[in-house]
């Protein structure tokens, strides 16, 4: 398992080493022991550029995920022909705003966004149907609980 983290924006109070350990736990919990992941922490300006370029949406977003797998049009999880899961990009600016809005720490918000991005890399979606959204939310909660020492 290889995890690469790039910081184009400071992560107040957070350490890359700890983030990497959490990512390793999440990937292990998901059965992705042999996969590689790349994470970029950036600002609202850069994520807005990526959001427009790749998603066709204007303005910043909290997290973007770029899977390296081909989607299975039958609605099944992605078929991974490569060891590289993909890239997760997080706007630290937007994460800080969300942390304040939700009354949680920046660390909790970053954890939640990392999990959300990884689930997108694995083919989960919350836009396609209410059922998919519920399943994705349950998986996010399970993984967050696992990170916090729960089951």
How far apart CA 23 and CA 35 sit, in angstroms, is 11
pLDDT at 123: 85
pTM (2 d.p.) = 0.89
Domains of the chain by range and CATH? 2-147 (3.40.390.30)
Assign 3-class secondary structure to the chain. Answer: CEEEEEECCCCCCCCHHHHHHHHHHHHHHCCCCCCEEEEEEECHHHHHHHHHHHHCCCCCCCEEEEECCECCCCCCCCECCCCEEEEEEEEHHHHHHHHHHHCCCHHHHHHHHHHHHHHHHCCCCCCCCHHHHHHHHHHHHHHHHHHCCCC
**What integer pLDDT is reported at residue 83 of this predicted model?**
82
pLDDT at site 150: 56
One digit per residue, the tens of pLDDT, for the chain of length 151 reads 899 999 999 999 999 999 999 999 999 999 888 889 999 999 999 999 999 999 999 999 999 999 987 655 434 454 555 688 999 999 999 999 999 999 999 999 999 999 999 999 988 877 777 888 888 899 999 999 998 875 4
């Amino acid at each position: 398992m290889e995890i690469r983290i790039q910081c184009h924006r400071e992560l107040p109070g957070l350490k890359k080493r700890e983030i990497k350990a959490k990512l390793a736990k999440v990937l292990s919990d998901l059965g992705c022991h042999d996969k590689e992941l790349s994470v970029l922490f950036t600002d609202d300006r850069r994520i807005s550029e990526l959001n427009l370029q790749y998603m066709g949406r204007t303005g910043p977003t909290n997290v973007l995920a770029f899977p390296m797998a081909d989607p299975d049009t039958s609605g099944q999880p992605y078929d991974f022909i490569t060891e590289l899961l993909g890239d997760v990009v997080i706007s630290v600016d937007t994460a800080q705003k969300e942390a304040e809005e939700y009354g949680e720490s920046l660390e909790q918000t970053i954890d939640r966004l990392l999990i959300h991005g990884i689930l997108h890399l694995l083919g989960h979606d919350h836009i396609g149907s209410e059922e998919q959204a519920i399943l994705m939310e349950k998986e996010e909660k399970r993984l967050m609980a696992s990170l916090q020492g729960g089951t």
